[in-house]
Amino acid sequence: MQTEQRPLRVAIIEENSIRAAILLDGLREAGIINVDVIETTANMLRRLSTFDPDVVIIGIENPSRDVLEQMFQVSKLVSRPVAMFVDHSDRAMIQAAVEAGVSAYVVDGLRKERVMAIVDMAISRFSAFDRLQRELVEARNELASRKVIERAKAILIRTRQLSEEEAYALLRQTAMNEKRKLVDIAQSVVTAASLLEK
Amino acid sequence: MPERLVRAGVIPLVDMAVLVAAAEQGFARREGISLQLIRDVSWSNIRDRLAFRQFDVAHMLSPMPVASQLGLGSNPYPCFTPFALGRGGNAITLSLDLYQEMRALAGLDDSEGALTKGEALKQVIERRRSAGKKPLVFAMTYPFSPHNYEFRFWLAAAGINPDSDVTMTVVPPSLTVDALETRAIDGFCANAPWNMIAVEKGVGRIVATKAEIWPAAPEKVLGVRPEWAQQNPETLARLIVALDRAARWCDDPRNHSTLADMLSGPAYVGVPADLILRLLSGNLTIDPDGKTKRIERYLTFHNEAANFPWLSQALWIYSQMVRWGQVSYDETSLSRVTAAFRPDIYREVLRSSETPVPVISSKVEGEGLELGVIPTTRGDLLLSPQMFMDGRSFDPDGIPGYVNSFPIRIV
Mean pLDDT across the stretch A97-123? Answer: 59
The domain of B209 spans: 91-213
Same domain, A126 and A168: no
Mean pLDDT across the stretch A53-63? Answer: 78
Q: How confident is the model at residue A122 (pLDDT cuts 50, 70, 90)?
A: low
CB contact under 8 A, B332 and A92: no
Q: Which amino acid is at B16?
A: M
Same domain, A96 and A49: yes
Same domain, B54 and B135: no
Closest CA to B89 of B215, B198, B204: B215
DSSP at A77? G
Same domain, A126 and A39: yes
**Cα angle: B399, vertex B405, B407; to 5 degrees:** 135
| Closest Cβ–Cβ partner in A63, A101, A143 for B172 | A63
CB contact under 8 A, B43 and A69: yes
| Closest Cβ–Cβ partner in A66, A133, A137 for B44 | A66
pLDDT in tens, B283-331: 999 998 988 999 888 999 999 999 999 999 999 999 999 999 999 999 9
Looking at residue A78, what is its pLDDT?
Answer: 55
CB contact under 8 A, A69 and B330: no
Same domain, A39 and A94: yes
Same domain, A93 and A29: yes
Same domain, A60 and A115: yes
pLDDT in tens, B180-213: 998 989 999 999 999 999 999 999 999 999 999 9
- A63 part of a folded domain: yes
Same domain, B61 and B153: no
**Rounded Cα distance, B376 and A39, in Å:** 53
- A2 part of a folded domain: no
Looking at residue B385, what is its pLDDT?
Answer: 85
Same domain, B183 and B235: no
Looking at residue A77, what is its pLDDT?
Answer: 46
CB atoms under 10 Å from CB of A197, counted, come to 7
CB atoms under 10 Å from CB of A64, counted, come to 24
Q: How confident is the model at residue B38 (pLDDT cuts 50, 70, 90)?
A: very high
Looking at residue A1, what is its pLDDT?
Answer: 44
Structural domain ending residue among the three candidates A90, A119, A136: A136
- A160 part of a folded domain: yes
Q: How confident is the model at residue A171 (pLDDT cuts 50, 70, 90)?
A: very high
Q: CA-nearest residue of chain B to A98?
A: B52
Same domain, B67 and B114: no
Q: CA-nearest residue of chain B to A136?
A: B71
Higher-confidence position of A19 and A191: A191
- A101 part of a folded domain: yes
Q: In chain B, pLDDT over 70 holds for what percent of residues? A: 99
Contact B261, B25 (CB under 8 A): no
CB atoms under 10 Å from CB of B380, counted, come to 10
Give the domain CATH number at A193: 1.10.10.10
Same domain, B133 and B150: yes
Q: How far is CA B229 from CA A12, A94, B68, B80, B225, in A?
A: 37, 21, 16, 10, 6
Same domain, B105 and B206: yes
Write down the ipTM of this complex: 0.80
Same domain, A122 and A151: no
- The minimum CA-CA distance between B44 and chain A, rounded to whole Å, is 6
Q: CA-nearest residue of chain A to B55?
A: A93
Residue B50 has pLDDT above 80, yes or no: yes
Looking at residue B342, what is its pLDDT?
Answer: 98
Classify residue A193 as exposed, middle or buried by CB count within 10 Å of its CB (0-12, 13-18, 19+): middle
Same domain, B239 and B197: no
pLDDT in tens, B119-155: 999 999 999 999 999 999 999 999 999 999 999 999 9
Q: How confident is the model at residue A92 (pLDDT cuts 50, 70, 90)?
A: low
Residue A127 has pLDDT above 70, yes or no: no
Give the domain CATH number at A29: 3.40.50.2300
Number of domain units in chain B: 2
Same domain, A128 and A166: no
Q: How confident is the model at residue A106 (pLDDT cuts 50, 70, 90)?
A: very low
Give the domain CATH number at B261: 3.40.190.10
Same domain, B223 and B318: yes
CB contact under 8 A, A64 and B48: no
Q: CA-nearest residue of chain A to B332?
A: A144
Structural domain ending residue among the three candidates A96, A120, A136: A136
Chain B neighbors of A106, CB-CB under 8 A = 52
- A41 part of a folded domain: yes
Same domain, A131 and A157: no
Same domain, B259 and B119: no
| Closest Cβ–Cβ partner in A42, A68, A137 for B184 | A42
Chain A neighbors of B400, CB-CB under 8 A = 191, 194
Picking from B60, B151, B170 by the largest number of A CB atoms within 10 A of its own CB, the best residue to mutate is B170
Q: How confident is the model at residue B160 (pLDDT cuts 50, 70, 90)?
A: very high
CB contact under 8 A, B400 and A143: no
The domain of A163 spans: 138-197
CB contact under 8 A, A70 and B172: no
Same domain, A102 and A142: no
Looking at residue B389, what is its pLDDT?
Answer: 93
Chain A neighbors of B169, CB-CB under 8 A = 45, 67, 70
Same domain, B62 and B126: no
Chain A neighbors of B74, CB-CB under 8 A = 69, 72, 79, 82, 102-104
CA B242 to chain centre: 21
Mean pLDDT of chain B: 94
Q: Chain B: which residues have CB within 8 Å of chain A?
A: 41-45, 48, 51-54, 71-75, 77, 141-143, 169-172, 174-175, 179, 182, 184, 326, 330-332, 400-401
DSSP collapsed to 3 states, chain B: CCCEEEEEEECCCHHHHHHHHHHHCCHHHHCCEEEEEEECCCHHHHHHHHHCCCCCEEEEECHHHHHHHHCCCCCCCCCEEEEECCEECCEEEEEHHHHHHHHHHHCCCCCCCHHHHHHHHHHHHHHHHHCCCCCCEEEECCCCCHHHHHHHHHHHHCCCCCCCCCEEEECCHHHHHHHHHCCCCCEEEECCCHHHHHHHCCCEEEEEEHHHHCCCCECEEEEECHHHHHHCHHHHHHHHHHHHHHHHHHHCHHHHHHHHHHHHCCCCCCCCHHHHHHHHHCEEECCCCCCEEECCCCEECCCCCCCCCCHHHHHHHHHHHHHCCCCCCCHHHHHHHHHHECHHHHHHHHCCCCCCCECCCCCCECCCCCCEEEEEECEEEEECCCCCCCCCCECCCCHHHHHHCCCCCCC
| Closest Cβ–Cβ partner in B52, B143, B400 for A97 | B52
Mean pLDDT across the stretch A73-94? Answer: 60
Structural domain ending residue among the three candidates B194, B213, B232: B213
CB contact under 8 A, B143 and A74: yes
- B195 part of a folded domain: yes
- B290 part of a folded domain: no
| Closest Cβ–Cβ partner in A42, A60, A147 for B331 | A147
Residue B370 has pLDDT above 70, yes or no: no
- The minimum CA-CA distance between B54 and chain A, rounded to whole Å, is 7
Lowest mean pLDDT among A61-65, B117-121, B220-224: A61-65
Looking at residue A98, what is its pLDDT?
Answer: 52
Number of domain units in chain A: 2
Same domain, B77 and B226: yes
Structural domain ending residue among the three candidates A136, A161, A189: A136
Q: CA-nearest residue of chain B to A194?
A: B401
Residue A105 has pLDDT above 50, yes or no: no
- A4 part of a folded domain: no
- The minimum CA-CA distance between B65 and chain A, rounded to whole Å, is 16
- The minimum CA-CA distance between A93 and chain B, rounded to whole Å, is 5
CB contact under 8 A, B172 and A92: no
Higher-confidence position of B136 and A61: B136
Contact A67, A41 (CB under 8 A): yes
**Rounded Cα distance, B226 and B308, in Å:** 19
CB contact under 8 A, A104 and B169: no
Same domain, A122 and A56: yes
- A73 part of a folded domain: yes
- B148 part of a folded domain: yes
Same domain, B223 and B346: yes
CB contact under 8 A, A64 and B172: yes
Same domain, A127 and A172: no
Looking at residue A2, what is its pLDDT?
Answer: 44
CB contact under 8 A, A147 and B332: yes
- A3 part of a folded domain: no
Lowest mean pLDDT among A18-32, A61-75, B92-106: A61-75
Q: How confident is the model at residue A143 (pLDDT cuts 50, 70, 90)?
A: confident
Q: How confident is the model at residue A104 (pLDDT cuts 50, 70, 90)?
A: very low
Closest CA to B340 of B47, B66, B62, B51: B66
- B8 part of a folded domain: yes
- B401 part of a folded domain: no
Looking at residue A186, what is its pLDDT?
Answer: 93
